[in-house]
């Protein structure tokens, strides 16, 4: 669904830069923020190309994605997805 089961975050970020983009809009679910104290990790099958994310919550993975994108020099526009 999000690609983290297919490619590492750093690869995705480099690809975005390579094709000429300088920013990424990253949606977050309001429910993810409302449940930010949740400790249940994301299913491993959703992040299988990024083993360093194993055992992390959805909000921790969101933070890791933002960090990976900005480390590649991309501007991240955070967008609340409410529907």
Q: How wide is the angle at C-alpha 68 spanned by C-alphas 49 and 34, nearest 5°?
A: 90
Q: Please give the structure tokens belonging to residue 5.
A: 């089961």
| pLDDT of the residue at 44 | 94
Of 33 and 74, the structure prediction assigns the larger pLDDT to 74
- What pLDDT is stored for residue 83 in this prediction? 57
pLDDT per position as a tens digit, 17-71: 999 999 999 988 888 878 888 889 999 999 999 999 999 999 999 999 999 999 9
Does the pLDDT value for residue 9 go beyond 80?
Answer: yes
d(CA 83, CA 76): 21
SS3 50: coil
Query: What global pTM score does this model have?
Result: 0.89
């Amino acid at each position: 669904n999000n690609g983290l089961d297919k490619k590492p975050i750093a690869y995705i970020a480099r690809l975005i830069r390579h094709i000429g983009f300088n920013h990424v809009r990253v949606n977050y679910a309001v429910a993810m923020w409302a449940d930010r104290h949740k400790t249940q990790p994301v299913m491993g099958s959703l992040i299988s190309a990024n083993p360093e994310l194993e055992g992390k919550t959805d909000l921790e993975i969101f933070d890791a994605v933002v960090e990976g994108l900005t480390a590649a020099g991309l501007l991240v526009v955070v967008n609340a997805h409410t529907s």
